[in-house]
């Protein structure tokens, strides 16, 4: 991976702003929430869309759900700078509604390009909607924490679905499952990296 990944991500952000894939969303949002973290990360977290706080700050997962992500990373002796965090849809839907199929479709080629630039070992989806984008027709309650090889764009990627952090806020048991799933995913990434050396 070349060291200019951040420059390429910046170019992609400019491209999104110019292409304006979802003008209705853009008009009611404060900011494009592109993503943040290590542009060469082995792990990319992908949520569904920004919420109110994310829209105001222009950063992904900075509200209550983001604190759960930060805690999970901290428990693994990592921080946000060690991974990359983004969403499928880069603008906040009104009233935090679920992104529409047309909105997800509009951002699909841009997300493919974003992942091609970062080239992670594993994509961790956060929540059912993000999971269904990569692994349609499954229930998160049965496949959480299980790596899947899926075709995305023109190449195969490894996807690990996790429960959405908001579910962990409401349910301590789910929070514990999320932490355990993340720890297993880290080991999976380490094993992958070791096997490639």
What confidence tens digit (pLDDT) does each residue in 86-103 have?
Answer: 999 999 999 989 999 999
- For residue 196, tell me if it sits in a domain: no
Position 155 scores a pLDDT of 84
Paired sense of beta strands 122-126 and 43-47, if any = parallel
Write the CB contacts of 116 (distance below 8 Å, at least 6 apart in sequence): 153
Tokens of 78: 């990592």
- For residue 171, tell me if it sits in a domain: yes
Nearest to 72 by CA among 80, 62, 63: 80
Nearest to 169 by CA among 43, 60, 56, 63: 63
- For residue 197, tell me if it sits in a domain: no
In whole angstroms, what is the distance from residue 143 CA to residue 21 CA?
31
- For residue 145, tell me if it sits in a domain: yes
Residue 100: domain span: 5-187
Q: In this predicted model, what pLDDT tens digit does every residue of 21-51 receive, in sequence order?
A: 999 999 999 999 999 999 999 999 999 999 9
Paired sense of beta strands 155-162 and 122-126, if any = parallel
- For residue 35, tell me if it sits in a domain: yes
CB 39 within 8 A of CB 138: no
Paired sense of beta strands 36-37 and 84-87, if any = antiparallel
In total, how many domains does the chain have? 1
Looking up residue 100, the CATH number of its domain turns out to be: 3.40.470.10
**How do the pLDDT tens digits run along the chain, 197 residues long?**
456 999 999 999 999 999 999 999 999 999 999 999 999 999 999 999 999 999 999 999 998 999 999 999 999 899 999 999 999 999 999 998 999 999 999 999 999 999 999 999 999 999 999 999 999 999 999 999 999 999 988 889 999 999 999 898 889 899 999 999 999 999 998 888 787 76
């Amino acid at each position: 991976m070349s060291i200019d990944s951040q420059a390429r991500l910046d170019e992609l952000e400019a491209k999104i702003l110019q292409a304006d894939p979802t003008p209705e969303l853009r008009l009611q949002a404060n900011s494009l929430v592109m993503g943040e973290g290590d542009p060469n990360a082995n792990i990319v977290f992908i949520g569904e869309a920004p919420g109110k706080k994310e829209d105001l700050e222009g950063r992904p997962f900075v509200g209550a759900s983001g604190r759960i992500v930060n805690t999970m990373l901290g428990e693994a002796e990592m921080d946000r700078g060690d991974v990359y965090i983004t969403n499928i849809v880069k603008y906040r839907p009104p009233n935090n509604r679920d992104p529409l199929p047309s909105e997800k479709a509009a951002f699909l080629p841009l997300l493919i390009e974003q992942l091609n630039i970062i080239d992670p070992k594993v994509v961790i989806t956060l929540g059912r909607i993000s999971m269904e984008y990569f692994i349609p027709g499954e229930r998160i309650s049965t496949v959480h924490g299980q790596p899947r090889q899926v075709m995305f764009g023109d190449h195969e990627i490894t996807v690990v679905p996790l429960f959405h952090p908001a579910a962990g806020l409401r349910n301590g048991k789910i929070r514990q499952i999320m932490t355990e799933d993340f720890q297993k995913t880290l080991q999976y990434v380490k094993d992958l990296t070791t096997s490639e050396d």
